[in-house]
Amino acid sequence: MKLLIVEDEPSLREIMTRTLQREHYVVEQTADYASALDKIAAYDYDCILLDIMLPGGSGLRLLEELKRQRRRAGIIIISARDSLDDKIEGLELGADDYLPKPFHLAELSARIRSVLRRHQRGGEPTLEAGNVRVYPDSRRVEVAGRPVELLRKEYDILCYFMSRPGHTVDKATLAEAVWGDHIDQVDNFDFVYAQMKNLRRKLAEAGADTEIRAVYGFGYKLVQP
């Protein structure tokens, strides 16, 4: 899952980034209104951690822009302004949660997991397609009830497609989602091919009745039985 942190305080931004990277998220960060606006216009995120008070503009206006663009990211407002008016406005504009500063990083992680469950799994603890089951909170994968060992990026690719059943995804979008912003600008996608080849082989060897099928000239699509 890919996160964007929009926070102008450098030390808080860095500790949030390191903590969430240790939890296997792909984490991008930005410190002001203008660069955050550029990020949300150019890239997709699963969850955005959004401060209200930013150099150059308000995080609430960014929230309005996200909703205008119909972005599907979960939004958690993180702000030192713990006023009732800000909280109500943020939630009415479409934020999923509001976390006042200071906060414990463990609580932030729990709220991110909760928002992702609601957005991508309808509140369910697992992702399922055919006889393939993924447990995102523990990063476990089972095929027909038996565990399958995947490397980190193999797991990330599978989780990405399991969260978007039936969607055809081009190689650049997949690379950006799993490896981070700007990776879509590389000269070739051999690293995507290699990881995808290994993932598809492991699923087939485990007896999966769901596959990630290549769509010639475009990308890949999760196909269920």
**Tens of pLDDT, residues 97-116:** 999 888 999 999 999 999 99
**H or E stretch including 26?**
strand 26-30
pLDDT at 172: 87
Q: Percentage of the chain with pLDDT > 70?
A: 97
Mind listing the pLDDT tens digit for each residue in 190-202? 888 899 999 999 9
Does residue 151 register a pLDDT over 70? yes
Does residue 155 register a pLDDT over 90? yes
Prediction pTM value: 0.82
C-alpha distance from residue 52 to each of 47, 77, 150, 191 (Å): 16, 7, 38, 38
* Three-state secondary-structure class, residue 212: strand
Copy the structure tokens of residue 96: 């999923």
Mind listing the pLDDT tens digit for each residue in 176-188? 988 888 786 777 7
Distance CA 77, CA 83 (A): 12
> What structural domains and CATH numbers belong to the chain?
2-121 (3.40.50.2300), 127-223 (1.10.10.10)
pLDDT band at 49 (very low <50, low <70, confident <90, very high): very high
DSSP letter for each residue of 134-156: EETTTTEEEETTEE----HHHHH
Mean pLDDT of 117-132: 84
Closest listed residue to residue 128, CA positions, set 142, 148, 113, 147: 142
Does residue 82 register a pLDDT over 70? no
Closest listed residue to residue 213, CA positions, set 130, 111, 134: 130
Q: Percentage of the chain with pLDDT > 90?
A: 58
pLDDT at 148: 96
Does residue 26 register a pLDDT over 80? yes
pLDDT at 163: 87
